[in-house]
Amino acid sequence: DPAVAASDGDSPLQREDGLRPRRLADYIGQGELKQVLGIAVEATRGRGEALDHVLLYGPPGLGKTTMALVLAEELGVRCRITSAPALERPRDIVGLLVNLQPNELLFIDEIHRLNRVAEELLYPAMEDFRLDLTVGKGTTARTRSLPIAPFTLVGATTRAGALSSPLRDRFGLIQRLEFYGLDDLQAIVQRAAGLLQVALDAEAALEVARRCRGTPRIANRLLRRVRDVAAVGGHGRVSAALVQEALSLHRVDARGLDAHDRRLLTLMLESYGGGPVGLDTLAAGLGEDPATLEAVVEPYLLQQGLLQRTPRGRVLTDAGRAHLAAA
């Protein structure tokens, strides 16, 4: 079934990434997240029950899928991975739910995109481990209840606000993932470099850390590019200078901003005098979907203090202007 990937299988998700930490202790950063989930895991293990349902939200690439896999590993159960767009027909989600073994995890990415029918099937499943199925049509239609194994739903979303409140209310644990600080990113890069067998100076790792938008997925991607440049150039050890050279090709600037980020800031400055300007106007100007702009591009710029959200629209900050002027 292409809609599902088992965590122990040879799925594209697994192949993409031999770099995912597998245990809580290897999961770098996100202290509060690890603390909260660590306690929940330990308590649950003691009781032999399914972990409470978990909702993870935050920008892409910060480790939501990784955390779901880590939780499964810590609990000693399997994690089934899917995403809301793959659950279009009712039978997709029903098939998944009836096949779960006791206490397994079901990870649904982009859970804010679940359709109405799928969402309503999930409510009794999450609450009472029960599926309410309609059998027959018209006047002979009736509802049949089917028990399913106790399980844990791990939902991930970039847009917690887009979740319906009945769905959100059914998660016992709701946790936000934050952009990573430089120290954590440096550690993530060094760990990944070890796994990829790249000899990297601490300074060089820091240089990658500075340029990855606070995001481990981007750090890993940049590290692979650095590895390519090092291999082609026949460099044994990778220095900070080599990282700068390798990444200047990829248009990531010294603050980690990519071409997307800079286009947004430049548009704000050049077409709207720095704002305030509405999200929809900016999205139209960039040819982007406003929801994506808000959930994927903006958060890092906000966190870096380059952009502000005000009631009248987005405003470029002094730091944002200074960054553009320096670039």
CB of 217 to ligand ADP, least distance (A): 4
Among residues 66, 80, 82, 109, the one annotated as catalytic is 109
Catalytic residue among 211, 217, 255, 314: 217
**Catalytic residue status for 65:** yes
> From CA 47, how far away is CA 59, in angstroms rounded?
33
Closest C-alpha among 220, 305, 214 to residue 18: 220
CB-nearer residue toward ligand ADP: 62 or 163 = 62
Taking alpha carbons only, the member of 195, 168, 135 closest to residue 53 is 168
15 is an active site residue: no
* Min CB(221)–ligand ADP separation in Å: 9
Among 174, 165, 161, 208, which residue's Cα sits nearest to residue 189? 208
Half-sphere exposure at residue 96, Cβ-oriented, CA atoms within 13 angstroms? 32
Smallest separation, CB 212 to ligand ADP (Å): 10
Catalytic site includes residue 168: no
Catalytic residue among 34, 64, 168, 170: 64
In the bound state with ligand ADP, the residue whose beta carbon lies nearer, of 64 and 314, is 64
Nearest approach, Cβ of 174 to ligand ADP (angstroms)?
15
* Cβ distance to ligand ADP smaller for residue 156 or 293: 156
Q: Which of 158, 159, 213, 261 is catalytic?
A: 158
Q: In angstroms, how far is the first alpha carbon of the chain from the final one?
A: 48
**In the annotation, is 34 catalytic?**
no
Q: Classify residue 45 by burial, with Cβ atoms within 10 Å: 0-12, 13-18, 19+.
A: middle
| C-beta of residue 306 within 8 angstroms of C-beta of residue 254 | no
CA 53-56-59 angle, to 5 degrees, is 165
User: Residue 89's closest CA among 180, 203, 29, 3?
Assistant: 3
Q: How far is the CB of 257 from ligand ADP (least distance, A)?
A: 19
> Of the two residues 77 and 192, which places its CB atom closer to ligand ADP in the complex?
192
217 is catalytic: yes
Minimum CB–partner distance for residue 60 and ligand ADP (Å): 4
State the residue number with the nearest CB to ligand ADP. 63
CA–CA separation, 238 and 205 (whole Å): 9
Compare residues 167 and 193 and give the one whose CB is closer to ligand ADP.
193
Residue 144 host element (H or E): strand 142-147
User: Alpha-carbon distance 15 to 191, whole Å?
Assistant: 18
Q: Which is nearer to ligand ADP, 163 or 277 (CB)?
A: 163
Among 20, 34, 44, 65, which one carries the catalytic annotation? Answer: 65
* Chain positions contacting ligand ADP, by CB under 6 A: 17, 19-21, 27-30, 60-66, 156, 188, 216-217, 220
Q: Which two tokens stand for residue 293?
A: 């702009």
**Known catalytic residues?**
64-65, 109, 158, 217
